[in-house]
Amino acid sequence: MRNSIISWKYFLAAYLIAVPAMSETTINIAGWGAKSGPLRSFGVNSQAIIDAAITRVNENGGVTLEDGTKAMMAVEYYDSGCNAEQGIAVARKVASETNALIGIGPTCSGVAAASFGVFQKKVDDASDTGLQMALLTDTAVRNGLAKISQWTFRNTPNEPDMYDKLFAWVAENRPEIKTIYGGTETDQGHSAGTYSKVIVQAAVRHGFEWVNGPIEGVNGTIVEGFKNVLSSSSNWLMADTNFSVQARAFKKSGADMFIVSSHPFTTCGFLKELYRQKGMPKMLVGLTSSSSAETMKGCSKQVEGMIIPTSFAPITDAAKEVAALAEANGGAADLHSAAAWENVMIIKQVIESVGITGDPANLQDERRKIRDGLEALETTEGLLGTVSRVQDEGEALKPYVFVQAQSGNWEVIHDPR
Amino acid sequence: MEYYFGILQTLGFHVLLGYSAYILLLTGQLSLAQVGFFAIGAYASGILTVLFEWHIFPALFIGAIAAGCMAFMVGFPALRIKGLMLVIATIAFSEIVRLIFFNLRWRFEINGLEVGPDGAQGFREIRYFAANGWEIYEIVWLIWTMVAVATILLWWLDQIKAGAILRAIGSDELAAESSGINVTSVKIVAMACGGVIAGLSGGLYAHSTTYVDHNTFTVLLATFAVSYPLVGGLKSVFGTLAAVIFIQGILIEGLRFLGDYRTILFGALIILVMNFKPKGIVDENFVKGISEYLRLNKKLIK
């Protein structure tokens, strides 16, 4: 009997040493994105992965608070559609009506541009009445958004760097590819902006020639001559369903490489028509956002061979696990949604490094601590490796790989990490 | 409270947008051009406060006047046609305006930051309110003062001869013309007034959201604009107010968790109202009921 009591005492002591005290506190975070409308899948994917990441953090004991106790994390995900008004309404709701320490989102760059604008532009500017809560974006990828406010940060890929390296690699490995031609969905800021200001310039920088002769003003420098790029291309709109004219123009151009800068839905529409017209080129290059499951579901046959730089592919153990968890939660992991996993882990890391009590009475002070903690980060651990932070702009430099559509899957063809 | 004030902001500029359609609907004209005037007001006032660093009041005023002038000019050709043709013509106008702003790139550096409309990338940094220390309740106060003024003016319009003329044209254009009313002039004036209100609403919208782009001004927003007075009823200006609160406050914001189903509910609401309350929720019977209720209460108090 006595031995039994002693062993229970040892067990209890060992348990208390091994398991830090659990706090009653819950650390709340909020997420929002498009869970309705045409871009619904983006929000669904993000939410699936945020939920999985929160579950993982909690399974591992939660997050360590300032006093050394552990707290569970909880997330509430809101549907902001792809609508600026709704995005702002959610941002205000989260900032003023919840105890969320930080937000993750939104999906659309237009919503990000609007909702970042209602945040305080510069911290400690008493004359600026904008919202004061940190936001760490996973999806909205249009260039340069995070600098709208010092409270907004992004963990989205750096497209200028990715396309620069992609074309350098293509130039080296596919010397037979000489000429390029392309098009974009002009009513989508990300697609059109990246195409006309980044992708074509990167291609020209690495020696590829526009098929009909040089485009005036385009010398390889980012943004230079972007209007002429658009007017020299054959473009469409996101709501278009007929691409026969554009496909004919692509085919007629006879270029070695076609650049298709568009979201999955229109990428598929366009490629199906191009395929029907037997106009497939020697090489296809796509927009980062198209390296997703939606494209494969929509047109795996026609997209075959397309090369895209992406900041996510299931090539590491962690990335494979996230892809599996996303699927189990009813979503899919891609370069946008996988960033949500990283964001949750970054938030956990920051909470633990700056010391958070989780006490709602300190909410505003702790939101500020989180912001300062995010700003202080120089690197974070991503699913594909170390992510560097460009902190004066609140942006990230993420590792990436080049994937190619092969037999219904995105296969990694080059890993420049 | 920030959130509830935010909702009040949204309701405010939607009420004004609804009023801009209401005044034209009184003359029996269904116009989807209001979203075009809304866009003109948004961009014009945004450009004035951001690129020229104007104060918000003259910027809103010029935005509203610019939209009103455009409505006046559009009114001449557009209001010579009616019914479905007018709907098509006004959609075309709104699309032209949307595509102009889609292609508008007018940017220069102010205080080390390049600002201004940037084509498909939109027009950001319209941060007059936050940058000038306006608290959100002050913005709400401004918006709802505008709403109150517009409501009073439209209610008063209904009490005087001008309102009777508008309704006479709406009821029977031929009869109104036979009794000496210059129908085209009245419709154009109504169009211009609607344009001013929509422009004002657009200016307030742009400064509240801090960002506008061509995707904001789609046919969907135009549909919302005309659906407010149609669902609310044309009997009273308060019908539009009630419809905005119901559609934007309850259907869109209150039922956010329903996601895409909200759009289905919106469609179902329109179908239900058209079938069971063809004159809108605030129709003659509703107004009569309210009047009787108030009269009864008065008697009881006495």
Using CA atoms, how far residue B250 sits from A226, A393, B262, B266, in Å, is 43, 38, 10, 11
Strand order of the β-sheet with A385-390 is A379-382, A385-390, A395-397
Our CA-based measurement puts residue A370 at a distance from the nearest CA of chain B, in whole angstroms, of 21
Q: Check: CB of residue B101 under 8 Å from CB of residue B39.
A: yes
CATH class of A2-157+315-397: alpha beta
The predicted-structure confidence for A290-327, as pLDDT tens digits, reads as follows 988 889 989 999 999 999 999 888 888 888 899 999 98
Q: In the block, which residue shows the tokens 């994105």?
A: A33
> Does residue A10 have a pLDDT over 60?
no
Q: Does A130 touch chain B (CB under 8 A)?
A: yes
Per-residue pLDDT, averaged over A171-185, amounts to 94
Exposure string of A296-332, with b = 16+ CB inside 10 Å and e = fewer, is bebbeebbbebbbbbbbbbbeebbebbbebbeebebb
Residues 6+ apart with CB under 8 A from A17: none
Enter the DSSP assignment of A182: E
Per CATH, the homologous superfamily of domain A159-310 is Response regulator (3.40.50.2300)
Which residues in A lie closer than 8 A to residue B212 (C-beta atoms)? 84
- Work out the pLDDT band at A13, boundaries 50, 70, 90: low
Our CA-based measurement puts residue B217 at a distance from the nearest CA of chain A, in whole angstroms, of 11
Helix intervals (H) in A277-404: 293-299, 317-328, 338-354, 363-376
The predicted-structure confidence for A58-97, as pLDDT tens digits, reads as follows 999 999 998 899 999 999 999 988 888 889 989 999 998 8
- Work out the pLDDT band at A41, boundaries 50, 70, 90: confident
Q: How big is the CA angle at A320 (ends A266 and A340), to the nearest 5 degrees?
A: 60
The predicted-structure confidence for A386-397, as pLDDT tens digits, reads as follows 888 877 777 888
**Assign residue A141 a region: left if phi > 0, alpha if psi is -120 to 50, beta otherwise?**
alpha
- The widest CA-to-CA distance across chain B, in whole angstroms, is 68
Output the pLDDT for position A166. 95
Q: In this predicted complex, what is the ipTM?
A: 0.76
Phi, psi dihedrals of residue A25, rounded to the nearest 5°: -70, 145
Which residues in B lie closer than 8 A to residue A126 (C-beta atoms)? 133
Output the pLDDT for position A12. 52
Environment class of A237 (CB within 10 Å of its CB; exposed 0-12, middle 13-18, buried 19+): middle
- Work out the pLDDT band at A247, boundaries 50, 70, 90: very high
Task: Pull the structure tokens for residue B91.
Answer: 């959609």
Q: Check: CB of residue A334 under 8 Å from CB of residue A291.
A: yes
> Does residue A4 have a pLDDT over 70?
no
Segments making up each domain of chain A, as ranges: 2-157+315-397, 159-310
Q: Check: CB of residue B71 under 8 Å from CB of residue B191.
A: yes
Q: Check: CB of residue B233 under 8 Å from CB of residue B249.
A: no
Task: Please tell me which residue of chain A has the smallest CA distance to B213.
Answer: A110
Q: How big is the CA angle at A188 (ends A184 and A191), to the nearest 5 degrees?
A: 45
Whether residue A89 and residue B1 make contact (CB cut-off 8 A), yes or no, is: no
Whether residue B211 and residue A84 make contact (CB cut-off 8 A), yes or no, is: yes
Q: Check: CB of residue B163 under 8 Å from CB of residue B23.
A: no
Helix intervals (H) in A254-337: 264-276, 293-299, 317-328
Q: How big is the CA angle at B249 (ends B244 and B251), to the nearest 5 degrees?
A: 95
Mutation target to probe the A interface, by most A beta carbons within 10 A, among B17, B209, B252 is B209
Per-residue pLDDT, averaged over B29-49, amounts to 95
- Choose between B63 and B298: higher pLDDT: B63
Per-residue pLDDT, averaged over B197-220, amounts to 92
Which residues in B lie closer than 8 A to residue A97 (C-beta atoms)? 2-3
Mean pLDDT across chain A: 88
Around Cβ B57, how many Cβ atoms within 10 Å? 10
The predicted-structure confidence for B92-129, as pLDDT tens digits, reads as follows 999 999 999 998 989 888 877 788 998 888 898 898 99
Task: Please tell me which residue of chain B has the smallest CA distance to A98.
Answer: B3
Whether residue B216 and residue A129 make contact (CB cut-off 8 A), yes or no, is: no
In chain A, what percentage of residues exceed pLDDT 90?
Answer: 54
Q: Hey, do A2-157+315-397 and A159-310 end up sharing a CATH topology, with the first three levels equal?
A: yes
Output the pLDDT for position A16. 47
Read off the amino acid at residue B252.
I
Q: How big is the CA angle at B122 (ends B224 and B134), to the nearest 5 degrees?
A: 80
Our CA-based measurement puts residue A99 at a distance from the nearest CA of chain B, in whole angstroms, of 13
d(CA B34, CA B217): 10
d(CA A4, CA A283): 73
Our CA-based measurement puts residue A5 at a distance from the nearest CA of chain B, in whole angstroms, of 53
Cα Rg, chain B, nearest whole Å: 20
d(CA A369, CA A386): 23
Output the pLDDT for position A260. 96
Q: Check: CB of residue A138 under 8 Å from CB of residue A157.
A: no
Residues 6+ apart with CB under 8 A from B180: none
Enter the DSSP assignment of A324: H
Query: What string of DSSP letters covers A25-76?
Result: EEEEEEEEE--SSTTHHHHHHHHHHHHHHHHHHHHTT-EE-TTS-EEEEEEE
- Choose between A368 and A7: higher pLDDT: A368
A113: nearest CB among B122, B129, B252: B122
Q: Check: CB of residue A135 under 8 Å from CB of residue A107.
A: no
d(CA B155, CA B160): 9
Per-residue pLDDT, averaged over A324-351, amounts to 91
Around Cβ A382, how many Cβ atoms within 10 Å? 25
> Does residue B265 have a pLDDT over 90?
no
d(CA B166, CA B145): 25
Per-residue pLDDT, averaged over B23-34, amounts to 92
- The widest CA-to-CA distance across chain A, in whole angstroms, is 93
Read off the amino acid at residue A244.
S
Whether residue A97 and residue B3 make contact (CB cut-off 8 A), yes or no, is: yes
- Choose between B67 and A141: higher pLDDT: B67
Q: Check: CB of residue A90 under 8 Å from CB of residue A76.
A: no
d(CA B251, CA B258): 9
- Work out the pLDDT band at A340, boundaries 50, 70, 90: very high
> Does residue A5 have a pLDDT over 70?
no
Task: Pull the structure tokens for residue A124.
Answer: 């400690």
Q: Which of B82, B93, B83 is nearest to B34 (CA)?
A: B93
Using CA atoms, how far residue B231 sits from A382, B169, B269, in Å, is 51, 21, 8
The predicted-structure confidence for A133-149, as pLDDT tens digits, reads as follows 999 988 887 777 888 88
- Work out the pLDDT band at B245, boundaries 50, 70, 90: very high
The predicted-structure confidence for A200-224, as pLDDT tens digits, reads as follows 999 999 999 999 889 999 999 988 9
Q: Does A117 touch chain B (CB under 8 A)?
A: yes
A110: nearest CB among B127, B213, B263: B213
- Number of A to B CB contacts under 8 A, please give it: 104
d(CA B240, CA B13): 12
A189: nearest CB among B3, B120, B252: B120
A36: nearest CB among B120, B215, B260: B260
> Does residue A416 have a pLDDT over 80?
yes
Around Cβ A176, how many Cβ atoms within 10 Å? 7
Considering only A10-24, A246-260, B72-86, which range has the smallest mean pLDDT?
A: A10-24
Output the pLDDT for position A218. 92
Q: Does A89 touch chain B (CB under 8 A)?
A: yes
